[in-house]
Structure 1
Amino acid sequence: MPVRRRRSTALAAAVATATALGATALAALGGATTASAAEAPLADYELTWGIKQSYRTYVGMFGSFTASEGADQAAGNGAFTFTDGTGTYDTTAHTVDLAFRGRLVSASAAHHFEVTLTDLRFDSGAGEITADVTTVDTSGATPTKKGDDVPLAKVAVTRTMTDMATTLTTEAGEYLGSDGYAGAAGDPLTVVKKTPPTTEPTTGPTTGPTTGPTGEPTTGEPSKEPTTDPEPTDPHTTPATREPSPTASTSAAPSTPATTAPATTAPTKGEIADGTLGWGVKESFRAYVVGTVAKGRVTVSGGATQAAGNGAFTFKDATGTYDTDADKLTAAFKGAVNFKGHESGGSYGLDLTLSNLKATLDGGTGTLRADVNSLGTQTKGVVLADLEAKSGDLKAAQDVVTVDDVAATLTVAGAKAFGDFYQAGTALDTVDLSVALSDDAQLPDGGGSDTSGGRDGGSGTAGGSTGGGTGTAGGTGSTVGGTGTTTGGSLGGGSLASTGSDIPGPALGAAAGAAVVVGAGAVYATRRRRTQGRAAE
């Protein structure tokens, strides 16, 4: 690995400024062109990277992320964005070297680790992402590990610098706590120039991209943005792509109400004709089941479907009642989902089935119930979650009531159903509800037409075989646990939830941490057996 110059985020701006001033001085003196004179300063860039989805899933299960000092994280345990990128653009080689503001801390008190990333850098010439990394074992079992300009990932650089494929390095595995990350596919990387919202992209970017990429480097362009900069492409492509959409919807608008509204107006109260419920239970739980500890599978049946990539579930054929004046809704849905894992000698320490889901809303709040079968013990009508919609109003549009992103919070009874795997009050995946008030109403596409693990215990599995194989989860091309890997892929025997061989080793503290993880299945099974009697109440 070549030795890198140590350049902090603050220093990057000074270097860029000095480079620009030096180029100006040389031009005034009529000196020959040098390497530094070919560099132009850059500012106001943003870098978005999720590191690796399975790493985020693991941290989300047992700890949390804290982004600050210019960094933030997308909702739903999403990717991270680092801001205020400054650096230089080599107008001869068409490469960029940028440093970004932001501090990201991943930590778990339970597993005694704290990993801090700062001074994130992207060098398109070297094709890599680096950062200053500090890994702390908060139990004190292993010493703190610090590194400057640690290469975290190799980047397959593209001209647009959007959705670039990344491959994690050996150093990433060392600092994040899993040797299995070395050579594994990371999340895609995007580097863009932050454009002020009031600036139209038709004047500035138009001259930059059309002259830069097509005519090779020209002497009149060194002060322009880099030709690899995605700014020239995306602002033009996106509006052009979206332009037809408003036009199409505008032309369709006059005819639709005229023909359908009078004929399909439903009463304000009555029986539900049909409907769907979309719910993923909890993303980290799905990841755990097919990950390297449980080494299990997820199976849907009874008409339920699962989105590709170990995604959320859709339950169908709703029945029930509604009252839009009173903002009340009660809907029951067909379909079941089974989570199975921790296989030993043909038996499973985890075998949980949720079926006959029923959602109620009254003024925006309500409950989500299900029949629960855990390790052969069935309990009907368990209140799994408390629901809270963003609005209490139930409004029908073309005889369909849709309530999306309903917050779901695990109840005490729900926690018991999960064997106390999660505590009461834990946020579950949000719930999407759509119910038809008439037979003619058209429900929106519920998604998830692909099943994960097949229907009724079919031959397809999510996460491969019980041993952590290479099977995909519900369709091809989707990735859970990082770009280029399939659910249950090759990372440590299963690339999804990093809860087995992928658990950060330094964080767990040598053999003690390993024992905790290896015993996770036994603990889960033991808790379930102790709570079977209570769950049957």
Structure 2
Amino acid sequence: MAAHRHRPLALAAAVAVALGAGAFAVTSASAAEAPLKDYELTWGIKQSYRSYVTGMAAGTFTPSGGATQADGNGAFTFTDGSGTYDSGTHAVRLGFAGSLKIASKLHGFELTLSDVRFDSAAAEITADVTSGGTTREDVPLADVTVTRTMTEMETRLTKEAATVLGSAGYEGAAGDPLTVTQKPAATQTPTATPTETASGSATPEPTSSTSTSASASASPSSSASSSSSASPSSSDPASGSASPSASASGTGAPARGEIADGTLGWGVKQSFRTYVVDGAAQGKITVSGGATQAAGNGAFTFTDATGTYDTDADTLSASFEGAVNFKGHEANGSYGLDLTLSGLGVELDGGSGELTADVDSLGKTSDDVVLADLSTDTAGLTAQGDVITLDGVTAKLTKAGAEAFGGFYAEGAELDPVGLSVALSDDAELPDGNGGSGSGSGSGSGSDGSGTSSGTTGGAGTTGSTTGGVSGALASTGSEVPAGALGAAAAVTLAAGAGVVVAMRRRQNA
């Protein structure tokens, strides 16, 4: 067999010096690669395969070189991952140390997996496979549904994996979920520490003695636009009352009947709005059909509610007019992200329910998609002045909602809270004159009344932050940089707005 050379990521010596000095060499005007290190990859291949090897085949799994296996014949973890983040293509490429020997004397097989690699651009896992004294390099084992968090990513075994595992039935089968995370490094400065943003999504926040400007811009959830803030604006439902509450009783309307009017205030998710307008998508948000958006890339208000209510049974069913379109990743007049939500509806029954919408993504339409599960702190629905008002209703993304967002957020992710006000009679006056609650949480037009119908936020000239999107599956959905994807040197590099000289040397046969 020809001698083989490992393909570690090669940083020029000058880059190491430059990192210490704060000066960086620019490879090109459009792209730069920043180094990543201290990552771990956890993947179990496929649970049924592990059971077969240790059961019927009476075989063994033997990890070595830093690789480990979880107790109870669990998943495998490969360590010391290093690689690059490409700010031009937003690709994350990582290679991991450790190997895994799989052997069965009873069934007569022995193979070793080594040099496991993850590539978000190719959306795949590869490894070197040694069997019968021959090594095949870079064998694609699984296709990966890449997500922003890079945790619990779905995998599907390839034809090559079926050959490696010894059964054609594995081709196209769902593999175990894949997780790629950065191992905390106590000596790393600055440290990319996952923190909880106002919108509830974990994003790396560098904490170090570096300059204030570098630290601030190194967080993927930060925005370079002065119009956006990490804290919810007064017009965002998130800034409403801390807990959902129904108004005090006292109404002249019947206990059950038809809704006369009403509004729904919802921001979808603050980090998503920021990403579309000020992040890597460099796009715009457009409201239409009676919907409005608060100033400063704020939350949305959907209007003209219709439906039914029953305060005795504590049930409510309401539909709202208006639509919001998120568009970004423009290239030659086409958009990689083009998502429209319309026909929003809310169903509540005893303090829980669901939020639905018609979803149009890149021209494909799905009606009445259950985007979020809703929950309130009180099961009762009461009215004041013939108006039922609910603030801060918790909204968590459903599986169907996660699919609608193309995997941008995982199932169970907390979205912006929902605020709604519905009038039970024609002469009832909605809060703030247009359905916002007194706290502003139910209104998407903002306290200054600057929200306008059919308005657009953002555009080609919007100043971008250091936020980027992982390529591959995420490029078409508008993803942020994976949480923790940028190592210390990478964060400082991108924050400084400069490129890094990184040479990636792919392994070749001599």
- TM-score with structure 2 setting the length: 0.45
- Structure with bigger strand share is 2
Q: Which has the higher helix share?
A: 1
